């Protein structure tokens, strides 16, 4: 009982010095519930309260930083394992992936408009590179068979966007002189408004209505062979 009283007195003295519960518990080995009961009537000065508030915020910030670092580490581990699961991609896999990609992002022919050429647009650098590889290796096309257009908001840097897409595609800058300027909305909710915004690159294949019909057949073949239809 005497030992408990001494612990209580020590805890109160430490609290009056402005120490936090965590700091006190390191010196007084009791439960947090007991400490809270002992210290409930101890008043702190404004300076002491400010110190504890700053300490608490610093702890939260450190905790958030550690959680973020753990999430980044976890993400890297998962991605590393997932990359290995893909294995080698042969020509057939490249062909099917490209068809699925065009299915998602390309222009489709309709019954009312069966003469649509092959058109594809996206703002993702890797997707653009993959699509160009597919056009070259599966469709046997070269850059001379392609037209490019940049769709970009009027507040963006068009020249910077042209240089960006020239680097991404490894093609000459004169391939990217066709720019479509989109009206800018002042209260836009778009996230892609910073310095890394380069608009959307559209890739059109010249004289490609028959190729689009073939791609449509490939898509239907995928659906049939997978049991979708």
Q: Do 47 and 111 belong to one domain? A: no
Question: Is residue 13, in this structure, part of any structural domain at all?
Answer: yes
* pLDDT score of 37 more than 70: yes
pLDDT at 49: 84
Q: Do 109 and 200 belong to one domain? A: yes
Per-residue pLDDT tens over the stretch 174-210: 999 999 998 876 555 555 667 889 999 999 999 999 9
Question: Is residue 37, in this structure, part of any structural domain at all?
Answer: yes
Question: Is residue 42, in this structure, part of any structural domain at all?
Answer: yes
pLDDT at 188: 57
Q: What percent of the chain has pLDDT over 70?
A: 95
The pTM assigned to this predicted structure is: 0.73
Q: Do 196 and 134 belong to one domain? A: yes
Question: Is residue 10, in this structure, part of any structural domain at all?
Answer: yes
Q: pLDDT-derived band of residue 110, with 50, 70 and 90 as boundaries?
A: confident
Q: Do 95 and 199 belong to one domain? A: yes
Per-residue pLDDT tens over the stretch 205-226: 999 999 999 999 999 999 999 9
Question: Is residue 73, in this structure, part of any structural domain at all?
Answer: no
Segment 111-133 mean pLDDT: 92
- For residue 33, the tally of other CB atoms under 10 A from its CB is 8
Question: Is residue 155, in this structure, part of any structural domain at all?
Answer: yes
Q: What percent of the chain has pLDDT over 90?
A: 60
pLDDT at 224: 95
Number of domains in the chain: 2
- Give the least confident one: 49-58, 64-73, 90-99, 157-166: 49-58
Question: Is residue 204, in this structure, part of any structural domain at all?
Answer: yes
Per-residue pLDDT tens over the stretch 69-88: 999 999 999 999 999 999 99
* pLDDT score of 112 more than 80: no
Q: Do 51 and 98 belong to one domain? A: no
What average pLDDT does the structure give for the chain?
90
**Range of the structural domain that residue 207 is part of:** 91-225
Q: Do 219 and 120 belong to one domain? A: yes
Q: Do 130 and 167 belong to one domain? A: yes
Who wins on pLDDT, 14 or 141? 141
Q: pLDDT-derived band of residue 41, with 50, 70 and 90 as boundaries?
A: confident
Q: Do 151 and 204 belong to one domain? A: yes
pLDDT at 21: 82
pLDDT at 55: 84
Question: Is residue 67, in this structure, part of any structural domain at all?
Answer: no
């Amino acid at each position: 009982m005497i030992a408990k009283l001494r612990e209580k007195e020590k805890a109160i003295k430490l609290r009056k010095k402005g120490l936090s519960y965590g700091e006190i518990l390191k010196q007084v080995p009791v439960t947090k519930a007991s400490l809270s009961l002992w210290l409930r009537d101890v008043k702190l000065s404004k300076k002491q309260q400010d110190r504890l508030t700053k300490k608490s915020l610093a702890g939260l910030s450190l905790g958030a930083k550690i959680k973020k670092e753990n999430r980044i580490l976890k993400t890297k581990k998962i991605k590393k394992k997932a990359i290995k699961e893909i294995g080698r991609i042969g020509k057939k896999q490249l062909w099917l992936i490209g068809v699925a990609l065009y299915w998602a992002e390309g222009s489709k022919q309709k019954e009312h408009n069966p003469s649509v050429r092959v058109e594809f647009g996206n703002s993702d650098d890797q997707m653009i590179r993959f699509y160009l590889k597919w056009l070259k290796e599966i469709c046997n096309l070269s850059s001379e068979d392609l037209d490019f257009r940049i769709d970009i908001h009027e507040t963006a840097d068009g020249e910077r966007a042209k240089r960006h897409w020239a680097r991404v595609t490894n093609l000459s800058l004169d391939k990217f002189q066709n720019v479509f300027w989109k009206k800018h909305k002042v209260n836009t909710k778009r996230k892609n408004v910073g310095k890394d915004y380069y608009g959307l690159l559209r890739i059109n294949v010249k004289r490609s209505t028959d190729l689009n019909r073939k791609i449509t057949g490939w898509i239907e073949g995928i659906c049939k062979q997978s049991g979708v239809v």
